[in-house]
Amino acid sequence: MNAVPDVSLAAAAPRVVIVGAGPAGLMAAEALLAVGARVDVYDAMPSAGRKFLLAGKGGLNLTHSEPAASFRARYGERADAVGRWLDGLDAQGLRDWAAGLGIDTFVGSSGKVFPAGMKAAPLLRGWLHRLRAGGVKLHMRHHWNGRLERSDEGPGWRLGFDTPAGATTVAADAVLLALGGASWPRLGSDGAWQPWLRAAGVDVAPLVSSNCGFEVAWSEHLRGKFAGEPLKGVRLAHVDRQGRRFDRAGEAVVSAYGLEGALVYAASARLRDDIAAGGPTTVHLDLQPQRSEDELRQALARGRGARSWTNHLREHAGLHGVKAALLREGLDAAAWAALLADPAAQAARIKALPIVLTAPRPVEEAISSAGGVRLEGPQGLDERLMLRALPGVFCAGEMLDWEAPTGGYLLTASFASGRVAGCGALEWLGLGP
């Protein structure tokens, strides 16, 4: 098909093209509107904010209420960089922003912050209405095809998109990419941009799984009978190859492929990196954190008499179902017989059940991804989130090299990075402070 001619640039106001209609891209659009820039947002999906809406299905966890210092520490090695983004839009700022859209928020029992209606759709509708009223033009079903060239007509850029009507080229004074990472590809975050930016001289760290489950070589018995069963009231401990310890209580889930759930996601970054550094790694589950090992040993030493092993565990150790099944998992007949004869060994195994994790699940199954455009170096980003290799091109959101746990931290930093990139584009265009 023939390409549509370049869209001409008006002299009256600079034009910024944003690729990606998620939280980062839309927040950048809002920052740009403040000074009257012309803003066009392009996205491959049929409608804006698809992943944002999915995040809100179970009740949109917008941000978190914990103190600023501990909030920023959640970003690990990127705490300083992300902290600078949060200087412009932190958790309270995000709540104030939502209030400006008519959406009240509240703090849940865990400290997580939710909209009063527990839904993403009303917030997104109000936001899009405000953006459109301010002049933002949304172009759906426009898939950026990697074409990004300097304009022949001036200092700007030309971008290529594939659409249902054919290929089209648009012109911009500045470009802002907010394409997401590589999780949830069916919602547009497919990481297809990685080779395109690398070819343009941008330093991109490989996108890998974050907030993800891990593979375990379960027996067919355990997989067939207990896949999908929750592990409530457990504690997970792990010491990585650098001697760093993770030890936290929570809940997990035994899946057909291995282990997942909030407790596993909280440790996923260090587990993933430990496996990458040296192969399979072992975590230890405390199946009864509220009881001491000595207490369990004494209880189990009372003997089971005519009771079955299942009833003995239930009565004296409080274990049944999947927790009881895990005690036998990975033991051959001889090892199992030895365990049955030794209450001390039973108690020790209940308090520190070893589980070998062989690999993280693929990035397309993860809640989020790590890796992306480097935040430093001559082929990375400057503090305005502009690509040093491509002046006038900015990046924001999950396509940047940072990660965060669940709990509102991902969304908050995505919003904040969008604001930084939008303000950076304004500065580049000579419209900022």
Residue 57: the pLDDT is 74
Q: Of the CATH numbers 3.40.190.10, 3.50.50.60, 2.40.30.60, 3.40.50.970, which one belongs to the domain with range 15-210+367-428?
A: 3.50.50.60
Residue 4: the pLDDT is 35
- Ordered DSSP codes for 385-408: -BBTTSTTEEE-GGGBS----TTT
What pTM was estimated for this model as a whole? 0.91
Residue 184: the pLDDT is 83
Q: Give SS3 for 146.
A: strand
Classify residue 363 by its DSSP letter.
G
Q: Which two tokens stand for residue 234?
A: 């457990």
Summarised one tens digit per residue, pLDDT across range 59-95 is 899 999 999 999 999 999 999 999 999 999 999 999 9
Residue 12: the pLDDT is 66
Q: State whether the Cα torsion 382-384-386-392 is positive or negative.
A: negative
The closest alpha carbon to 418, from 76, 97, 65, 72, belongs to 97
Using CA atoms, how far residue 428 sits from 81, 155, 189, 384, in Å, is: 20, 11, 27, 9
Question: Averaged in consecutive runs of 10 residues, what is the pLDDT profile of the chain (433 residues)?
Answer: 38 88 97 91 95 81 96 95 97 97 94 93 96 97 96 85 96 97 89 96 97 97 96 96 94 97 95 96 97 94 78 89 95 93 95 98 95 95 97 97 95 98 95 72
| Residues facing 167 on adjacent strands | 162
Query: Domain ranges in the chain?
Result: 15-210+367-428, 214-360
Residue 19: the pLDDT is 98
Say if residues 65 and 403 touch (Cβ distance below 8 Å): no
Q: Which two tokens stand for residue 233?
A: 């009231």
